[in-house]
Chain A
Amino acid sequence: MSFLTRLPIQLDGLIAEVAGPDRGGIASFLGTVRDHHQGRAVRGLEYTAYEPMAEETCREILLEAAARWPVQVTLRHRLGELAIGDVAVAVVAAGGHRDEAFAACRYVIEELKGRVPVWKRETFVDGTVEWVNASQQAIGSGQSAMGETLE
């Protein structure tokens, strides 16, 4: 199983991975490429990753979610060049009921943003290109991004 992909993310395929006859609630989150960043018009962006660590960290986060809630959960993160509106990240969680599906989905996307080594470089409409540091963490962090809010 590879959680990083250079191909477009297909939501129906992810739903099929986690759905089951005993799972009546499926929650999904899609992160898509915005056309602006801090007031500037964005043309597109490129994602890069520390791939072996990113794959391992995604796997760990999904295991954590499955240990905390009775769910099946999966994710994908795009790498490479993306255009406005493209799906950059997707999380899908399926449980017996909606509460655990929403909770697990939220947990996975928040932990992903805080721990998975991925970076993006935005190309602005004015032609400038900049690396984005969306998540400002202290040295040596990489701890839970959600704190105890879902306990």
Chain B
Amino acid sequence: MITPASVASTIRVRLFASYAERLGGELIEVPAEGIRTVADLLERLRALPNGAVVGPATLVAVNLRHSPPGTAVRAGDEVAVMPPLAGG
């Protein structure tokens, strides 16, 4: 059950394509403690089982914008962690 307290203390991460398949679904919740930036979040994801799939070419969008590693991440943001793009 999601309570206000748990929402405040977790970051909801959208995953796509191979990342969703390997890391446990299209939407996962990560404890927010210790995560201040995109780089911190990626480090946390890489520590998960199959986390090695999150390679150096990973893209992150915070609130629908491509966001470099230093971008701040806060509980409540919409964060997407994406494998290299393959459109077109």
Tell whether, in the assembled complex, residue B83 and residue A142 are in contact, meaning their CB atoms are under 8 Å apart: no
Contact pick for A119, options B17, B38, B57, CB 8 Å: B17
Residues A131 and B85 in contact, CB atoms below 8 Å apart: no
Which residues of B in the span 50-88 have a Cβ within 8 Å of any Cβ on A?
A: 56-61, 64, 66-69, 71, 80, 82-88
B16 partner residues in chain A, CB cutoff 8 A = 48, 50, 117, 119
Residues on A with C-beta less than 8 A from B14 are 50
User: With a CB–CB cut-off of 8 A, which chain A residues contact B21?
Assistant: 131
Q: Would you call B87 and A116 a contact (CB within 8 A)? A: yes
Q: Is A49 an interface residue (CB 8 A)?
A: yes
* Bound CA span A133–B58, Å: 11
A114 interface residue per 8 A CB criterion: yes
Contact B64 A53 (CB under 8 A): yes
Interface size on A, residues (CB 8 A): 36
Shortest CB distance A47–B (Å): 7
Asked whether A139 lies within 8 Å of B58 as measured between CB atoms, the reply is yes
Q: Which chain B residues have a beta carbon within 8 Å of chain A's beta carbons?
A: 14, 16-18, 21, 38, 42, 56-61, 64, 66-69, 71, 80, 82-88
Contact, CB under 8 Å: B82 / A117: yes
Of A88, A116, A135, A136, which is in contact with the most chain B CB atoms at under 10 Å from its CB? Answer: A135
Chain A nearest CB: distance from B64 CB in Å? 4
CB distance from B56 to the nearest CB of A (A): 7
29 contacts between A and B (CB under 8 A): A31-B88, A47-B87, A50-B80, A54-B87, A56-B64, A77-B88, A89-B87, A89-B88, A112-B88, A116-B88, A118-B87, A119-B16, A119-B17, A119-B85, A120-B87, A133-B84, A134-B85, A134-B88, A135-B84, A135-B85, A138-B56, A139-B58, A139-B59, A139-B69, A140-B66, A140-B69, A140-B71, A142-B61, A143-B66
Q: Are B58 and A117 in contact (CB under 8 A)?
A: no
The residues of A that contact B57 with a CB separation of less than 8 Å are 133, 136-139
Instruction: Find the residue from B17, B58, B71, B80 having the highest chain A CB count within 10 A.
Output: B17
Q: Which of B59, B68, B80 gathers most chain A CB within 10 Å?
A: B59
